[in-house]
Structure 1
Amino acid sequence: MINAITSISPPTFPLLATATESEYAPIVLTGVLLSLVVIYIASKLGGELSRMLDFPPVLGELIAGVVIGASALHLVVFPESGAIASDSVIVSILKFIDNLSPETLTSIFQSQSEVISVLAELGVIILLFEIGLESDIRELQKVGYQATIVACVGVAVPFGAGTAGLMLLFHVPAIPAIFAGAALTATSIGITSKVLSEIGQLKSKEGQIIVGAAVIDDILGIIVLAVVASLAKTGEVDVANVIYLIVSATVFLIGSILLGKFFNKSFVAIANVLQTRGNLIVPAFIFAFFMAFIGNAIHLEAILGAFAAGLVLDETDKRKELDEQVKPIADILVPIFFVTVGAKVDLGVLNPLVPENREGLIISTFLIGVAILGKIVTGWSVFGQSGINRLAIGIGMIPRGEVGLVFAAIGTASGVLDKPLQAAIIIMVILTTFLAPPFLRLTFGESQKQVESAKQVKQADLAR
């Protein structure tokens, strides 16, 4: 998802451009440091306020990102959201500190934004590594077939209903309708897994089904995106590329888990031999980043590699010790990811007073309905599981988060999506992202109350 760090420079003087970039590197660093100060303050305030209101802290971090981002204060904004250097309050502060030309400010803004985006991407990689460590590979294997069914239903139903509805009800052309339908298939594993971890349901049967389904959903989403992207470019589907993605995803996940059984002993042996600081955490991160690299290199996702690495190391004798060492690092980098997801959201598309937003708002109402119902039905695709919380599984699959925004960005860049449809997709992503965490908490809370009530009734019956 992250491109290489680039900056705008005069095309005819590459040597001069390099010198200029080097000269202003301290100013870029100043902007990055100030951005991190703002992000951390926002994440803590948002998280603490959310906790006080009995909501998952991640929801507060997302909302804090919205407040400091493109929707409100413009403290942390990004070029991919349509912002320019003059929109950024932090860049304005840098301009005040050093009297810089507009061209230089643009270059600094681009570089600073890329650095924050890379840190955010590292944050989600570490988050998925941590989630992998907290998951139980044996439990995931037990619900593997259920998770696969949930993922397939969660992709097929929203995609089919969304595409057909847009074409029949709103007369949207086929390719844009297919692209919008594809955006409905996404599930943000980062947001869902974080909420499950916070409410202590990650290792529950429902939690394992949700996480497993979200991982498979992410793979299916990549394949769907490859199909619709090639369809948008050429009008034809690249069958060879689709087959390659399916095979590589299957081999990667299954192969990494199988090979992990042999790697575990080697990992523990290496950690025991090393005597300097970081003897456990450094080899673990080497493995996690290498797996993430392989995931990216074969055109999957880095987060899938990190998750697989966490699952592998979850089987080692040093898992608990490793888990404790990963948490402080996750506490530093993961909030950057959630705050930047919120910061990239522009709530301006929700303003009905802007004429060009109205059509998008109407279409978004339809997309939101399909997005929610299309994932909730996945809970009822689970069979052979007595006492399972089907509603919680469905709600856990709802948030689109950064994955949905990627679909919208690629569709816009390819010229497939017009403004109303683009706005409708972004609105759908916003609402599904923010609605899912509190409802997931509420659903699991109600389920827990029912279990406790049943226990009390059973104890009362036995007492009689």
Structure 2
Amino acid sequence: MSLTYRMNAILDPALRAILSLCVLIVIAKITAEIFTPLKVPVLGELLAGMVFGPYALGAAITIYGVPLVEFNDIVFAFAEIGGIVLLFLAGLETSFAELKEVLWPSILTSCVGVVLTFLLGYLLSVSFGLSPQSAIILAASISVTGAAVTVRILEDLHLASTKESQVVINAVMVDSIFGVILLALARSVALNSTFPSVSNILETALKVILLLVVILAVGAYAIPYVIDQSEWRVAGSVESLSIASCFFLAALSQAIGLSSYVGALIAGMAVARAKSIKRVREFTSTIALIFSPMFFGVMGAAANLTSFNPLSAGLLAALTFIAIIGKLVGCTLPVLLLSRKNLKALNVGISMISRGEISIIIASIGLTFGIITSDLYSTIVLMTLILAFTSSILLHKSYSTTSKQSQLTQGAQK
């Protein structure tokens, strides 16, 4: 086999993607195993991306002069599927009846958390000497909770079915609506250097809410019926149609401006009403074992430490602190006022700390149009990863405390 043929094969985008995903999956599973005793394997997967991503060892290790890990559209597509599958799995643990039960607490939790975090983020950015446009981009990027990260942490801790987790999952869905509004805000600032009018913001919000209601209505009734009618003789018919419905609603959500993860979550909630829910849940759990590390590996690899200016460490620390306080206070207080249960309210607040894909997308818009520098972009990405680590550790400790208190209460009652 000639050297030219080998080089052409190595440079083929599909082969590059396959090799990169292979490395990420293997390393992610190894590092996840290290963090499993701490009950936070997702941290291992994020760390795998940071260490073996294209900005670190993945670029340093080469084959015929070509980096071992190199991201392209194929890799990003697989990572997107990983996030979609993860949110679909979370939806399978949630019913529409449970959604209605905690709807208003979820809406209130999301609203207060987003507004408070945005205001704090804007004031902080201005105090660091950033322009109003840059301050808006930074404030918007820290305001929305990361859906996939939050859900994965709850799944790892086996907490997805708890009452407070239902509030969190639904609040994350509401956060996604705010995410669309903030994306529109970021684009307006980027293109026109102006703040959009209140009427434009309300118009965008109403369109998104109406379309979301339509998706919910269709998903709640049509999808379970189709799944129940798909008990064909061919193997895997139920599982295939369930995943197809997940991808369809994910694509539809993306098309109307929402995150694809919202559609996947709704699809999971719809399929949860089908008679074959147990089979679908087992199947989805299995494929999530492979796709989930791809998502978190790519997310971790987004941190380009080489472009981070050490002089920005102060802004990174302050931004991370504000991002934590904004969600912790803004999301804990509404639940505390409604439930009067301190620890459970705190669990909700901690669950909403993590950030994810929306933060990075908003930051990338600002970077593309020259509103923020590559240094500020790296600061936001690093903040996103720090918050994922922080929320994982705090959630584990907080829920452990809640569990011990419940056991003591039950023992006292006996």
Calculate the TM-score normalised by the size of structure 2: 0.90
Assess, with a 3 A threshold, how the Cα gap between structure 1 residues 261 and 420 changes in structure 2: closer, same or farther.
closer
Judge conservation of contact 1:411–1:417 (CA < 8 Å) in 2. yes
- Percentage of pairs with the same residue: 27
CA RMSD, Structure 1 to Structure 2 (Å): 2.4
Instruction: Please give the per-residue CA displacement for 1:382-435, whole angstroms capped at 9, x wherever unaligned.
Output: 232143612111111111133322222221111001355334323322311221
1:128 counterpart residue number: 87
Equivalent runs, 1:363-378 vs 2, <5 Å: 363-377=315-329, 378=331
> Are 1:456 and 2:401 matched, yes or no?
no
In structure 1, what residue type is equivalent to 2:333? W
TM-fit CA distance, 1:451: 0.9
Counterpart in the other structure of 1:393: 348
State the secondary structure of the residue aligned to 1:299: coil
Residue 379 of structure 1, aligned match among 322, 332, 355: 332
Given that residues 400 and 433 in structure 1 are in contact (C-alpha distance below 8 angstroms), is that contact kept between their aligned partners in structure 2?
yes
Aligned-pair distance for 1:206? 1.0
Code of the aligned partner of 1:139 = E
Q: Note if contact 2:34-2:44 (Cα within 8 Å) is conserved in structure 1.
A: yes
Structure 2 equivalent of residue 440 of structure 1: 395
> 2:49 is matched with which residue: 41, 44, 65?
65
C-alpha contact (below 8 Å) 1:349/1:357 kept by paired residues: no
Distance in 1 (alpha carbons) for counterparts of 2:381 and 2:241: 39
Alpha carbons of structure 1 residues 135 and 432: separation in structure 2 relative to 1, 3 Å = same
Distance 1:177 1:444 in 2: 35
Matched, 1:427 2:379: no
From 21, 26, 47, the equivalent of 2:32 is: 47
| 1:205 aligned onto 2:150 | no
Aligned to 2:314: 362
Please list every run of 5 or more consecutive structure 1 residues that lacks an aligned counterpart in the other structure.
Answer: 1-19, 76-86, 97-104, 351-355, 460-464
What amino acid maps onto 2:102 in structure 1? V
Aligned in 2, Cα 1:318/1:71: closer, same or farther, shift over 3 Å? same
Whether 2:148 is the aligned partner of 1:190: answer yes
CA-CA distance at 1:132 after TM superposition: 0.7
Q: 1:425 to 1:260 in 2, by over 3 A?
A: closer
Aligned position for 2:12? 27
CA separation in 2, counterparts of 1:455 and 1:55? Answer: 25
Deviation at 1:341, TM superposition (A): 0.7
Partner of 1:224: 182
Cα offsets for 1:250-277 (capped at 9, x unmatched): 12332223233431553144312x2112
CA distance in 1, matches of 2:100, 2:10: 48
Report how many residues are paired.
404
Q: 1:363 to 1:261 in 2, by over 3 A?
A: closer
1:438 to partner: Cα distance: 1.4
Q: Is residue 275 of structure 2 the alignment partner of residue 317 of structure 1? A: yes
Match of 2:139 in 1: 181
The letter for the 1-side match of 2:354 is P
Q: Which whole-Å CA distance do the structure 1 matches of 2:177 and 2:187 have between them?
A: 15
Large movers: runs of 4+ above 6 Å: none
Q: Does 1:119 align with 2:78?
A: yes
Q: 1:179 touches 1:228 (CA, 8 Å); kept in 2?
A: yes
Amino acid at match of 2:51: V
Distance (Å, rounded) in 2 between the aligned partners of 1:422 and 1:183: 10
AA matched with 1:246: A
CA distances 1:39-87 after superposition (whole Å, capped 9, x unpaired): 12111111111113x23211111112111114531x2xxxxxxxxxxx4
- What SS does the aligned partner of 1:384 have? helix
Match for 2:12: what amino acid?
A: I
Amino acid in structure 1 at the alignment position of 2:338: G
Contact 2:320 2:387 in 1 (8 A): yes
Counterpart secondary structure, 2:303: coil
- Structure 2 equivalent of residue 160 of structure 1: 119
Partners of 2:224 and 2:273 within 8 A in 1:
no
Change (3 A) 1:316 1:95: same
Rounded Cα–Cα distance in structure 1 between residues aligned with 2:161 and 2:234: 33
Instruction: Note if contact 1:188-1:403 (Cα within 8 Å) is conserved in structure 2.
Output: yes
Give the distance between the partners of 2:200 and 2:244, measured in 1 at CA: 30
Does the Cα contact within 8 Å between 1:31 and 1:94 map onto a contact in 2? Answer: no
Equivalent-residue separation in structure 2 for 1:421 and 1:344 (angstroms): 14
Structure 2 residue runs without a partner (length 5+): none
1:331 aligns with 2:280: no
Moved more, 372-381 or 419-428: 419-428
Q: Which amino acid aligns with 1:67?
A: V
Distance 2:69 2:47 in 1: 23
- Is 1:93 aligned to 2:78, yes or no? no
C-alpha contact (below 8 Å) 2:186/2:362 kept by paired residues: no
In 2: Cα distance, 1:65 partner to 1:265 partner: 37
Measure how far apart 1:33 and its partner are.
2.4
> Given the alignment of the two structures, is residue 296 of structure 1 paired with residue 254 of structure 2, yes or no?
yes
Assess if the C-alpha contact under 8 Å between 1:27 and 1:94 holds in 2.
no
User: Structure 1's 109 and 455: CA in aligned 2 closer, same or farther, altered over 3 A?
Assistant: closer
